[in-house]
């Protein structure tokens, strides 16, 4: 069994979506300054770097991440869907329909667009990322087995297509207006630059922030040797 990380470390150089503020870090105590231990502050919005959107992000009736059962964050049937997209392009229902059979049995779909290749270009990555359309979200919600969708994008909303496409996609998969509590959690800014052949299980471990909709997420995958 081989284990890899599908998340990036969070730092002051983390690229950010659209106009989101940067991460800040500063020491309270530092051995470099003569203190006997290191201890620091950090400040970041809860939608920065690799993170998970809880249903409450766009759905006031939806759960915050900490309110979900722990099994919500464990995925044992993972579909990796390679859907190449470039600057400002949109992922639609048509793009997803070719995976219909596999979507019927997976609990996590990972959409790999290849846009992770431009993460070192912070402006391009954060200002011109591909995004999803509402019809893509509505289509995914037809599969009650899907617990989460991950992607190599800083947001499921394209920075140049936030309204209406990005907003409506989030509203759709996070269950806004539904009478049941079905929602597909969203994992954004995943690290998908490795060979994911033989992926067997994924653990998405969000920071459980009581009172907040969403949070940073560490993601581990187990693959066959």
Break the chain into its structural domains and give their ranges.
2-9+46-223
Q: Quick one: average pLDDT of 146-166?
A: 98
Q: How many CB atoms lie within 10 A of CB 113?
A: 22
User: What are 26's strand-pairing partners?
Assistant: 41
For the chain, the average pLDDT equals 97
Quote the pLDDT of residue 225. Answer: 85
Could you tell me the CATH superfamily of domain 2-9+46-223?
Putative cyclase (3.50.30.50)
The rounded distance, in Å, linking the Cα atoms of 69 and 176 is 20
pTM of the model: 0.97
Q: How many CB atoms lie within 10 A of CB 217?
A: 24
Q: Quick one: average pLDDT of 31-50?
A: 98
Quote the pLDDT of residue 164. Answer: 97
The rounded distance, in Å, linking the Cα atoms of 162 and 137 is 14
The rounded distance, in Å, linking the Cα atoms of 12 and 44 is 9
Q: Quick one: average pLDDT of 39-59?
A: 98
Contact indicator for 132, 169 with CB cutoff of 8 Å: yes
What's the gap between Cα 209 and its chain centre?
16
Q: Quick one: average pLDDT of 133-138?
A: 98
Contact indicator for 213, 64 with CB cutoff of 8 Å: yes
- Residues shown for the chain: 225
């Amino acid at each position: 069994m081989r284990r890899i990380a599908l998340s990036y470390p969070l730092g002051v150089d983390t690229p950010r979506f659209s106009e989101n503020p940067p991460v800040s870090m500063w020491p309270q105590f530092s051995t470099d300054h003569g203190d006997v231990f290191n201890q620091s502050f950090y400040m970041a919005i809860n939608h920065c770097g690799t993170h998970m959107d809880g249903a409450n992000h766009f759905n006031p009736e939806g759960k915050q991440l900490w309110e979900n059962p722990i099994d919500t964050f464990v995925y044992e049937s993972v579909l990796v869907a390679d859907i190449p997209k470039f600057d400002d392009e949109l992922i639609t229902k048509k793009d997803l329909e070719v995976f219909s059979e596999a979507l019927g049995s997976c609990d996590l779909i990972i959409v790999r667009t290849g846009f992770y290749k431009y993460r070192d270009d912070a402006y391009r990555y954060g200002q011109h990322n591909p995004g999803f359309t509402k019809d893509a979200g509505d289509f995914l919600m037809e599969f009650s087995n899907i617990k989460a969708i991950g992607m190599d994008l800083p947001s499921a909303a394209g920075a140049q297509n936030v309204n209406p496409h990005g907003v409506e996609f989030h509203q759709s998969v996070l269950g806004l207006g539904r009478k049941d509590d079905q929602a597909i959690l969203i994992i954004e800014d995943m690290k998908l630059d490795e060979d994911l052949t033989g992926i067997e299980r994924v653990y998405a471990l969000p920071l459980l922030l009581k009172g907040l909709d969403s949070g940073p997420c560490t993601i581990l995958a187990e693959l066959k040797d």
